Amino acid sequence: MLSGKEIMRQRELGNIVIEPFSPDQINPNSYNMTLGDEIMVYTDAVLDSAKKHRTKTFKIGPEGYVVTPGQMYLAKTCEHTETHGFVPVLLGRSSTGRVGLTVHLNSGFGEDGYKGKWLLGLTCTLPVRLFPGMKIAQMWYCPVSEDET
């Protein structure tokens, strides 16, 4: 796992791209990711894994958006990331966990070379008000090593 200082160094070298980037979002071993301004819900009563699902998208205004238990929400990070030589890993922050918010149900691992914003699968145990730009997850990075055999 890279330290915060190494994340900064690799960003300066162009091996890690985070846009927009803010130095105050660097942690000792990760980078804080923030919530975008849209949230999406499935509108079908039953999700059939063999079919495309209908959805509805909402803007998250300055007053926030309340997510409720029993519903899964999809949202994206504000940040677009790209990596070269590193596997990005997205995890929930402890502050989101303390209010009962789960940031992803699975697929927290990215691929070396992935480019894009991160899709979040949000669920909660209690109603939680979310705000655009709030720190919602943290990204940490693992170096990719080549097998020498």
- Structural domains of the chain in order of their starting residue, each with its CATH number: 1-32 (no CATH), 34-43+56-80+92-135 (2.70.40.10)
Q: Exposure of 31 by Cβ count < 10 A (0-12 exposed, 13-18 middle, 19+ buried)?
A: buried
Instruction: Give me the residues paired with residue 57 across strands.
Output: 40
User: How far lies 40's CA from each of 2, 36, 68, in Å?
Assistant: 32, 11, 13
Check pLDDT > 70 for residue 104: yes
pLDDT of residue 96: 87
Q: pLDDT-based confidence at 129, cuts 50/70/90? A: very high
Rounded (5°) CA angle 47-52-54: 70
Check pLDDT > 70 for residue 20: yes
Q: pLDDT-based confidence at 106, cuts 50/70/90? A: low
Mean pLDDT of 61-86: 95
Render 20-44 in DSSP notation, one character per residue.
Answer: S--GGGB-SS-EEEEEEEEEEEE--
Instruction: Give me the residues paired with residue 78 across strands.
Output: none
**Collapsed DSSP state (helix, strand, coil) of residue 4:** helix
Phi and psi torsions of 9, nearest 5°: -65, -45
pLDDT of residue 105: 63
Q: pLDDT-based confidence at 109, cuts 50/70/90? A: confident
pLDDT of residue 111: 87
The structure tokens listed for 2 are 């890279």
Question: Are 144 and 111 spatial neighbours (Cβ–Cβ below 8 Å)?
Answer: no
Q: For the chain, what percent of residues have pLDDT higher than 90?
A: 77
End-to-end CA distance of the chain: 23
